[in-house]
Amino acid sequence: MKMNNTRASASLKEMIHVAHVDKFYGDFQALSDVDLSVNQGERIVICGPSGSGKSTLIRCLNGLEFHDAGEIIVDGISVEEDSKHLKTLRQEVGMVFQQFNLFPHLTILENLTIGPMKVRKIAKAEAEKRARLYLERVHIPEQADKYPAQLSGGQQQRVAIARSLCMETRIMLFDEPTSALDPEMINEVLDVMVELADTGITMVCVTHEMGFARKVADRIVFMEAGRIMETATPDKFFTNPDSERLKLFLGQILDH
């Protein structure tokens, strides 16, 4: 179900505000004067060469890393190391990583219910109902009673997505969710992400999957050397990029 009308009418609310952000690791500057604004329901794909700062930027959005200068506000919360609201922020922003980070000693169902029960204080029966619903959504309801090691990488990543969905967050961040997967499992995860994108959730996704970017993104952000070099709609991004660097990058990745 497309929700473009809803997204259009909601598009005035800015969910992510990044202004003049710098980030250093020691002496190394990983982000330089980064600006990014994401409205409610927007789908943003971030791409760029290895080491360009994509993961650093997305990790700064939910306080897994902290910026050194500038301002980041996510869903009304200022992201700062000493903020009292960091816990709330992390609860409100879902994140799916390259490595699935499931609890190995818990079943799939338990992986999905632990957050809602502990953090949201939802009763077990309700949490399980919700978990089974989202396992249906990611097309693996039959895996509920297995342990993560018994699932394929693609299935584990779909559980990781379902786990974020169970927390019913309004923002989902993805950091190269398919890059640790065997090629034949990439599409099953991307398909779930395409379905998720149609629900109106705000999405920021670091990925090299340009087919996904073309299909889903409202805007694609190209980073290089810690800077945002270009931001464009998929159409412009792929057919008429402004910078020579982006043309070179596209030449390299689209040839593969």
Ligand X SMILES: Nc1ncnc2c1ncn2[C@@H]1O[C@H](COP(=O)(O)OP(=O)(O)OP(=O)(O)O)[C@@H](O)[C@H]1O
Nearer to ligand X, 57 or 109 (CB): 57
Closest CA relative to residue 74, chosen from 53, 88, 84, 56:
88
- Residue 41-80 contact track with ligand X, rule CB under 6 A, x = bound: -------x-xxxxxxx------------------------
Closest contact distance (angstroms) between CB of 64 and ligand X is: 10
Nearer to ligand X, 84 or 256 (CB): 256
Nearer to ligand X, 111 or 178 (CB): 178
Among 15, 18, 21, 30, binds ligand X (CB under 6 A): 30
> DSSP of 103-134, one letter per residue?
-TTS-HHHHHHHHHHHTS---HHHHHHHHHHH
Closest contact distance (angstroms) between CB of 231 and ligand X is: 16
Taking residue 104's Cβ as centre, other Cβ atoms within 10 Å add up to 8
Nearer to ligand X, 132 or 245 (CB): 245
Site for ligand X in 158-187 (CB under 6 A): none
Would you give the distance in Å from CA 188 to the centre of its chain?
A: 17
Closest CA relative to residue 87, chosen from 63, 65, 67:
63
Closest contact distance (angstroms) between CB of 249 and ligand X is: 12
Per DSSP, the chain holds a count of helices (H) and strands (E) of 10, 10
Closest contact distance (angstroms) between CB of 57 and ligand X is: 7
Nearer to ligand X, 25 or 103 (CB): 25
164 Cβ neighbours under 8 A, 6+ residues apart: 94, 95, 96, 172
Distance separating alpha carbons of residues 31 and 58, to the nearest angstrom: 11
Closest contact distance (angstroms) between CB of 5 and ligand X is: 34
Candidate ranges 6-14, 23-31, 154-162, 234-242; the one touching ligand X (CB under 6 A): 23-31
Candidate ranges 14-22, 25-33, 143-151, 243-251; the one touching ligand X (CB under 6 A): 25-33
Which residue type does 45 have? V
Cβ atoms of 59 and 96 within 8 Å: the answer is no
Cβ atoms of 153 and 182 within 8 Å: the answer is yes
Closest contact distance (angstroms) between CB of 22 and ligand X is: 13
Nearer to ligand X, 53 or 94 (CB): 53
Binding site for ligand X (CB under 6 A): 25, 28, 30, 48, 50-56
